[in-house]
Structure 1
Amino acid sequence: MTLFESGPGEVRVMTALRPPVDPPSAAVSLFPVVYQRPLAHIKHVGSFGQLYHGRLARDRGFDDALLTTADAEISETSIANIGFIDSGGEIVWPSAPSLYGITWQLLDEALTVAGINFRKQPVALNDVAGFAGAFVANSVGVVPVHRLGGLTSYDETASREIITLYEASAWDTIQS
């Protein structure tokens, strides 16, 4: 559901209905681009730039774009949050401006219950080779990252525990 102003003081609600989408069956590849969403911490309809960069990444043979600041600090992908797994198995969320998505929030809860440490910190493109793995998280689930540009390739097994934790999260019951 998206709220937007169609005229001065006129708030509209836009809802898109579609069948549930399964997460990709294979690990994804990301192409780094310099782009920051305006008001990244807010979900909004101003998504032309991120969709444009996502399409360009797919045209280059990648699954999605990895959005970075002009200083090469990672924020998110065009459609998902990204998390990294350090050599000790802890989760590192990039601290550059991004949306604190629902799947990220659910993962933080599951990680806390499982006793797995997580933190936010700056993650630059030149840092990615030092991580054991990476994953993306959005409304379709949690998926391992296989390749990040020409910078590194990850073994997707590092992400399996995170995916299992997410998949074990309780669903909210919706009464009709």
Structure 2
Amino acid sequence: MPTHLRTVPGLSTNKVILENVPEGTMQDTVMLFLENCDKPRERGPQHIIKGHKDGQYMVVYSESMDLQKLTGNIEQEKLNEQYIKTKLVTSTNCIQIRGNIKSLSNDAIRLNMESFKRSKGGEVTLVQRCGDKVALIHFAECYVAERVVQTWSEKDFVINKIPTKVGFYYHCLFNDH
């Protein structure tokens, strides 16, 4: 098996993990809570993504921000009588594709993802199957995963006439493998 050298992923400047969010809390309530914790600008997140653990969410902002300050503010406030825990997130080199991909070979997936012309991708280090409808693709570098998701998150990525949805995969948030 070849050895792949890659840079150490840095911390994200626009994503944070929330833990201990009380069960039954609406996402709108979480959004308002986060806006109030971002003093004085009161920016709300662009996305809130539920994790596989109870009370776990990834919060994604549309711009870079001082997450150390924000997480400090979050941990000092209560949401529905509970303190929220936060974790900073490292960038990921992994994406997931979802679709009816059972008939696609790992080589077909890898070759399409390595083709800059087709996918804006680059060197793939691993393709992992998670059943018939999900595959995880690991790139040698995080910036390649970012470029692929940025290019394909709003439209289908077609591999051998099979449409797929593309998104980031964070091992700390999901449990698909």
Q: Taking structure 1 as the reference length, what is the TM-score of the superposition?
A: 0.28
Kindly name which structure, 1 or 2, has the bigger radius of gyration based on alpha carbons: 2
* TM-score where L is the length of structure 2: 0.27
